[in-house]
Amino acid sequence: MYLEKLSLEGQTAVVTGAARGIGFAICEALAEAGSALVMTDIHADAVEDSAAALRKKGHSATALQLDVTDRDAVHRAASRIGDATDIDILVNNAGIAISNQPAETMSRDVWSKLIDVDLNGVFWCCQAFGVQMLQREKGAIVNIGSMSAKIVNRPQEQANYNASKAGVHHLTRSLAAEWAGRGLRVNTVAPTYIETEMNAYVYEDEDMHRHWIGGTPMQRMGRPDEVASVVHFLASDAASLMTGSEVLVDGGYCCW
Ligand code: NDP
């Protein structure tokens, strides 16, 4: 009974920012649990390559170019996918970081671009795919937030990123409360520093690397698969009583 709850057999999941990094690992985890995947990313070729890699392993994966900041495109995609199949799971993973931006000199563009992708994009996808799920009164949404919603990272200044992720966490609670009585669950996963291309620059900066690792009780960064496993759990029936939760996947970072 307990293992069965983790099965996603017969379900369909939509994942944003799926071409690489955490998004791709999430697709691998959901696919291994039996879900068909609709993998979306702003980069058409890259997401097609990633979907092809999963198909090669025998999984069902289709690719779709989608910019989460384009509200109309997101709604069109949700209708089109919803017409073709029932959408059971949505993972809002697409995100960017624009760090080392002192607040007092941050430009309008840097502030707005970050909020547009990391917060507005999550809302447009929740709204558009949420409509499809509400029609069936069934669905699990997992938003990728960050420990940056809880703490202020050091040493890099990134008020834009931190504020956007705090917004994602409270958006999650708001939608969870609105939709709990209509069959939808909405949760957030809040990772620590994960070894992806988003963080590749840290290896060239000894001081920053020392801050990040030194501030983590487990003394290491995380791997994409360690985030993906938690997303899988939250998307599955094993988490049937969970909604509005934020699950820290942070190697203990927020303990200190
Ligand atoms: P990556 O940059 O490795 O992958 C994200 C993918 O999303 C890229 O292909 C990226 O394209 C794409 N993307 C960017 N903008 C959009 C858009 N507007 N619409 C659709 N796709 C887009 O990121 P990570 O795997 O590292 O991060 C994934 C998520 O996890 C993000 O939300 C991030 O904030 C969060 N997170 C990451 C942590 C980390 O340490 N890596 C820690 C905590 C949270 P492009 O290459 O052009 O940007």
d(CA 229, CA 122): 21
Q: What is the atom index within ligand 1 of the atom nearest the CA of 70?
A: 18
d(CA 76, CA 54): 25
pTM: 0.98
> Measured from the CB, is residue 68 less than 6 Å from ligand 1?
yes
| Residue the block writes with tokens 């997303």 | 231
Tell me how far the alpha carbon of residue 132 lies from the centroid of ligand 1, in angstroms. Answer: 24
Tell me how far the alpha carbon of residue 96 lies from the centroid of ligand 1, in angstroms. Answer: 5
DSSP letter for each residue of 111-176: HHHHHIIIIIHHHHHHHHHHHHHHHHT-EEEEEE--GGGTS--SSS-BHHHHHHHHHHHHHHHHHH
In the chain, what are the domains? 3-244 (3.40.50.720)
What would the two tokens of residue 41 be?
A: 């990313």
Q: What is the DSSP letter of 59?
A: -
Is residue 2 part of the annotated active site? The answer reads no
> Measured from the CB, is residue 197 less than 6 Å from ligand 1?
yes
Q: Which residue has the least CA distance to atom 39 on ligand 1?
A: 194
Q: Which of 27, 47, 96, 165 to mutate to test the pocket of ligand 1 (most atoms within 8 A of CB)?
A: 96
pLDDT tens-place values along the chain, 256 residues long? 999 999 999 999 999 999 999 999 999 999 999 999 999 999 999 999 999 999 999 999 999 999 999 999 999 999 999 999 999 999 999 999 999 999 999 999 999 999 999 999 999 999 999 999 999 999 999 999 999 999 999 999 999 999 999 999 999 999 999 999 999 999 999 999 999 988 887 878 888 888 999 999 999 999 999 999 999 999 999 999 999 999 999 999 999 9
Q: Which of 196, 203, 247 to mutate to test the pocket of ligand 1 (most atoms within 8 A of CB)?
A: 196
Sheet arrangement for strand 139-144: 61-65, 36-41, 12-15, 89-92, 139-144, 184-191, 246-249
